[in-house]
Amino acid sequence: MDAILARVGVSDTALRAHCSNAVHDELQQAEKRLQKPLAALKRALEVAEASRELYKSSQALVDESPDVSSMLSRVVSSCNAIGPLTRKLHQTRLPREFPETTKLRKHIAANFETPAEEVVIIQERLKKMLKEVRGWCRDDPYSVSVFEDRLQFVKETIEASGYEGYEPRWDKSIAELLFRFGCCLQAFHTGWAQDRRYDTIRALLSEMKSQERR
């Protein structure tokens, strides 16, 4: 939270990337910490099944032992507390931008140079995004909205007025992202929106190639 608040005053694109990175890192840590409880529950289930098989009882141990029944109730209660939290996390997303915000962000990007400290944030976001998109190519699930959000971020990064010590049109991560975006298009239905996505990718690739010829 402190890390997010410390970024007040930076550009909209950099702040959005910073907030996204902060949430991603926290979720990554949460996912790692959840692996041990999940492993413990699987282990407990294996022991319970093995004990029942060995005991040869027609009743489950939780029915015969008050201690086991009480402990199981506590475990179930803890697990039930996870569901509401995950639903809230799923619903809590960065707010969609208002048209005024989009206009302001485009004005800033078109008229002001992005300072070096913000460039680092954008580059980190691009690296994490590339890792994510590589997963799409390995059959990781992704939606149209997520795809367009990632493509829009790359588009805004390329089209910004300028960066201190950084040229996005020479960035290999962006080049690979655009290539993989093109490969991932096949997951969506044909139509006007699909044509628009294709045209955007093609135009950005063309812009990067034109930079190479300069």
Confirm if 191 and 198 have CB atoms less than 8 A apart: no
Same-domain pairing of 83 and 123: no
Res 86: pLDDT: 64
* Percentage, residues of the chain above pLDDT 90: 24
Res 175: pLDDT: 92
- CA–centroid distance for 60 within its chain: 42
Res 10: pLDDT: 55
Same-domain pairing of 124 and 186: yes
84 sits in which H/E element: helix 66-91
Same-domain pairing of 105 and 186: yes
Same-domain pairing of 130 and 201: yes
Pick from 144, 114, 130: which is nearest to 175 by CA?
Answer: 130
Same-domain pairing of 35 and 126: no
Domain count within the chain: 2
Residue 33 is part of which domain span?
2-91
Mean pLDDT, all residues of the chain: 76
Last residue of a domain, one of 38, 71, 91: 91
**Tens-place pLDDT, residues 128-152:** 999 999 999 888 888 999 999 999 9
How does residue 5 score in pLDDT terms, banded at 50, 70 and 90?
very low
**Tens-place pLDDT, residues 144-196:** 999 999 999 999 898 886 788 888 889 999 999 999 999 998 889 889 999 99
Res 116: pLDDT: 77
Same-domain pairing of 66 and 115: no
How does residue 4 score in pLDDT terms, banded at 50, 70 and 90?
very low
Instruction: Find all residues with CB under 8 Å of 156, minimum gap 6, and list them.
Output: 13, 105, 106, 109
Among 25-29, 46-50, 111-115, 153-157, name the one with the lowest average pLDDT: 111-115
Last residue of a domain, one of 68, 91, 114: 91
Higher pLDDT, 197 or 213: 197
Tell me the two tokens of residue 102: 């989009």
Same-domain pairing of 104 and 83: no
Same-domain pairing of 155 and 64: no
Pick from 209, 112, 202: which is nearest to 155 by CA?
Answer: 202
Res 164: pLDDT: 80
